[in-house]
Amino acid sequence: MTKPPCTFCGLPVRVGPNLSNEQPIYCCSGCALAAQIPVDGGNLPISRQLIVSLALAFAYFNQFLFWSLAFALRGEARDVLAGRFDAITLAIGIVVLVATVVVFLSARVHRWTDWVVLTFVAGLTVVGVILGIEGGLSSTVAWVLATNTLMVILLSRGWVKRLLRNRR
């Protein structure tokens, strides 16, 4: 049985026998999401998917920025201000986590590897909450940042696969 190529990245995909030829075939949810962003000859026209992607990237960047500031302030023994940045980081992190899960669930394709990573992210979130209750706010913030990093990687892996495929 030959494996048809992914419509977005070009990697071979294992598909079922009842798939019609008119449907696009994607190897993962990352490729299915990346294919929703139209790229016309290298240009990126404004679309809902592009705006959502940029908003998530901006929020994730700010989460990392505020976490870094809190980390630096804690090193200078300015714990009150670091705690405020931790609270801001946690609020942004929760929004990013919920938004990335919603975007993931909106993908048309979900392979078993996608669900494994999402389960791992859910486990990290639970561990982070438990350790945060015991260790304080700064511990929870680091765990939420780690889970959001995994979700961003999960959502953007279609672009990474395509980039690596084109370099070969």
For the chain, which ranges sit under pLDDT 70? 1, 17-21, 40-42, 44, 168
pLDDT, residue 42, reads 67
- Which is nearest to 63 in space by CA: 151, 156, 145? 145
Residue 57 is predicted with a pLDDT of 93
Tell me, yes or no, if the pTM score tops 0.85: no
Q: What is the model's pLDDT at position 108?
A: 76
Which pLDDT value is given to residue 63? 96
What is the reported pLDDT for 81?
93
Give the pLDDT confidence of 116-142 residue by residue, as tens digits. Answer: 888 988 898 888 888 877 877 777 888
Calculate Rg over the CA atoms of the chain.
Answer: 19
Question: For 52, left (φ over 0), alpha (ψ -120 to 50), or beta?
Answer: alpha
> Based on the number of CB atoms within 10 Å of its own CB, is 9 exposed (0-12), middle (13-18) or buried (19 or more)?
buried
CB 80 within 8 A of CB 70: no
